Amino acid sequence: MTRETSVADTKPRGIKWVFFGSQGLRAGWGVLLFVLITAALAIGLSLVLHALNHGKKPDLDMLDPVTTLVGESAMTGVALLATLITAAIERRSLVRLGFGLRNALPRLLQGLLFGVLAMGALVGILYLCHAITFGGLALHGADIWLYGAEWGAAFLLVGVAEELIFHGYLQQTVARGLNFRWSAVILGVFFTVAHMGNNGESPIGLLLVFTAGLVFSYAVWRTGALWWGIGFHAAWDWMQSFTFGVADSGHPSKDALLLSKPAGPDWLSGGSTGPEGSVLTLAVMAAVAVLIHLTLRKPDEDLGVKW
């Protein structure tokens, strides 16, 4: 028996061909399976939380650390459970889905550092352009440490949940069906759509969300895992909402360190969107992409997909 005959004999035939290819379940069906499992878990969880809150809806217009922490804990659980279930059904390695533990802590810390520096640089530039004003400290003493830690934990979970959903199983599955470049673009679109319902969001802000999605995808490609993106995502949001007290994707927050507000035209300051709505953010994200290219040169894990 020749090698070609052996390979041909292992290919799915008949109705199985519709659902399975040479790499197992076809990518499109895998995406659909993940979405259905995630939706079912999210709906079930929302019904439980609705019952526990006696039908009272949380205030999503003004973020606070405890509510954010609870909500993102739930979303992280949903995303993680959906990933584990789908990976188990398909018998896929978690390493190939971005969960490789090699250099996980250093990559997470690198991402945190880059996120702090990137948002710090953006706000610094806005200040020099007279596009943001500061009114002093809003917190003092032990409250700084308390709320800083609460917001830190909350935004770490934001990073975990969003990276799991958009750059974990879904990204690698779309990349398996097409390639990694197309998966970055497609998941960037979905990432943007997920932010379109935010109050105070703007066209420039949504363009930045799409750009950020591409940057996070590139970080996954360069490292082979989710950890860098989780760290950057968490630090970026923490600096906005807690340190500078500005809106984050249109969401203002309570218990922030500084009293800040935008000044000047919205296209420059970001307006109600926050710094993410400023055109200057696109330049900052471009600089971050260059730094990723220069500093993250060798993947820690092989994702097993083509660029």
Q: What is the DSSP annotation of 73-128? A: HHHHHHHHHHHHHHHHHHT--SGGGTT--TTHHHHHHHHHHHHHHHHHHHHHHHHH
Residue pair 132/246 in contact by the 8 Å Cβ criterion: yes
Is residue 135 within a helix (H) or strand (E), and if so which, with residue range?
strand 132-137
pLDDT number for residue 136: 85
Number of domains making up the chain: 1
pLDDT number for residue 2: 40
Residue 174 within any structural domain of the chain: yes
Q: What is the pLDDT of residues 22-79, one digit of tens each?
A: 666 787 888 899 999 999 998 988 887 767 665 566 555 667 888 888 888 989 999 9
pLDDT number for residue 71: 85
Q: Give the separation between CA 136 and CA 123, rounded to whole angstroms.
A: 15
Domain limits for position 206: 3-295
pLDDT number for residue 292: 94
Residue 300 within any structural domain of the chain: no
Residue 231 within any structural domain of the chain: yes
Q: Which residues pair with 118 in a beta bridge?
A: none
**pLDDT averaged over the chain?**
86
DSSP string over 160-206:
HHHHHHHHTHHHHHHHHHS-HHHHHHHHHHHHHHHHTTSTT--HHHH
Map residue 82 onto helix, strand or coil.
helix
Residue 301 within any structural domain of the chain: no
Residue pair 107/301 in contact by the 8 Å Cβ criterion: no
Residue 307 within any structural domain of the chain: no
**Helices (H) and strands (E) in the chain — how many of each?**
12, 4
pLDDT number for residue 55: 59
Q: Give the separation between CA 12 and CA 260, rounded to whole angstroms.
A: 60
Residue 305 within any structural domain of the chain: no
Low-confidence ranges of the chain (pLDDT < 70): 1-24, 50, 52-62
Q: What are the structure tokens assigned to 213, written together?
A: 């999605």
Residue 303 within any structural domain of the chain: no
Q: Give the separation between CA 278 and CA 204, rounded to whole angstroms.
A: 7
Instruction: Write phi, then psi, for 286 (nearest 5 degrees).
Output: -65, -40
Q: What is the pLDDT of residues 280-299, one digit of tens each?
A: 999 999 999 999 999 988 88
43: DSSP letter: H
Parallel, antiparallel or unpaired: strands 24-25 and 132-137: unpaired
Q: Which residues pair with 260 in a beta bridge?
A: 134
Residue 85 within any structural domain of the chain: yes
